[in-house]
Amino acid sequence: MTDQRPLLFLDVDGPLNPWRAERHRQPDGYTTLRMRPTGWEPPREALRVWLNPGHGPLLLGLGFRIVWATTWKAEANRWIAPVLGLPELPAVEWPQMHHQDPDGVHWKTRHLVASAAGRPFAWVDDEIRPVDRHWIARHHRGEALPHRVDPAKGLLPDDFAVLRDWAAGRTGRAGGGSRWRTD
């Protein structure tokens, strides 16, 4: 049976790792980790990441099929998922990252809409702007919730409530070929 839950395209830096929080002050409930994902090798200092292990169960209880939508790509399964207690999740496979879009939307926007293939989806990111919301509303044939999170605070109880309420009662429909991977 096909998973009919709406998709949750989840970014790491901002929503899960409040990277803009006060530089030397670990947020309450978070653990400080040092990581070296691909592209972050020596001589660079290990990347400081703050993660809240309590977010994993909350994410799993929202009613979504979670998909990594992050520059961490599938490496989020190695570095992020175990800390949060998440299973291995599919990851969006970006054809190009950090490029300028001709319509001024975020570089992820078009690809996420294409990846959703008409299924309902929520996108949680700290870089969503009004132009992205408008573009999604005009180009996605299903329901969508682009949800911006403050990168200084990360996901908060109100964010989880918004996502849970939005997912309630929605079922995804089978779409075309997916453009993410789990390896």
Checking if the pLDDT of 6 tops 50, the result is yes
pLDDT of residue 171: 57
Element (H, E) at 49: strand 47-51
Average pLDDT in the 92-108 region? Answer: 87
Checking if the pLDDT of 177 tops 70, the result is no
Residue with tokens 């299924």: 119
> In this prediction, what percent of the chain has a pLDDT beyond 90?
77
Checking if the pLDDT of 173 tops 60, the result is no
Omega of the bond leading into 43 within 30 degrees of 0 (cis): yes
Average pLDDT in the 159-177 region? Answer: 75
End-to-end CA distance of the chain: 22
What would the DSSP string read from start to end of 72-120?
Answer: TGGGHHHHTHHHHT-----EE--SSSSPPPTT---TTHHHHHHHHTT--
- Structure confidence by residue, pLDDT tens digits, 48-86: 999 999 999 999 999 999 999 999 999 999 999 999 999
If phi > 0 it is left, if psi is from -120 to 50 it is alpha, else beta; for residue 118 that is left
Average pLDDT in the 162-174 region? Answer: 78
Considering the four listed CATH numbers 1.10.3470, 1.10.287, 3.40.50, 2.60.40, the one that applies to the domain covering 7-20+52-173 is: 3.40.50
Give domain limits for the chain: 7-20+52-173
> In this prediction, what percent of the chain has a pLDDT beyond 70?
92
pLDDT of residue 172: 45
pLDDT of residue 50: 97
Point out which residues pair with 65 in neighbouring strands. 7
